[in-house]
């Protein structure tokens, strides 16, 4: 049986941390990175990202990101 788009596991990582500068992407302290979690699809990862970003809205240097792990695990698949 073929997997539907809803059944595919496309892993996404959500993490964040405090940046040294608003103009760069260098984290102030790598040991203090907040690894929010790994999610099975973009929709759930985006919801987790949004929740964490809203919790830290008072700190302009705090940034959260969504990383498409499935692209790192199988980079050739995205090129097709």
Residue range 21-60, pLDDT digits in tens = 999 999 999 999 999 999 999 999 999 999 999 999 999 9
Instruction: Note if the pTM is more than 0.85.
Output: no
What pLDDT is stored for residue 1 in this prediction? 46
- List CB contacts of 33: < 8 A, sequence separation 6 or more: 15, 16, 17, 27
13 bridge partner residues: 38, 67
Q: In CATH, what class is 12-79?
A: alpha beta
Q: Which two tokens stand for residue 61?
A: 């240097």
CA separation for the pair 59, 67 (Å, rounded): 22
The ranges assigned to domains in the chain are 12-79
Q: Between β-strands 12-18 and 34-39, what pairing exists: parallel, antiparallel or unpaired? A: antiparallel
User: Residue 65 in 3-state DSSP?
Assistant: strand
């Amino acid at each position: 049986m073929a997997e539907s788009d809803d059944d595919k596991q496309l892993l996404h990582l959500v993490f964040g941390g405090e940046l040294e500068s608003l103009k760069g992407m260098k984290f102030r302290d790598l040991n203090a990175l907040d690894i929010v979690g790994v999610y099975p699809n973009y929709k759930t990862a985006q919801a987790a990202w949004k929740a964490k970003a809203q919790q830290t809205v008072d700190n302009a240097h705090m940034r959260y990101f969504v990383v498409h792990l499935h692209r790192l695990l199988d980079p050739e698949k995205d090129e097709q």
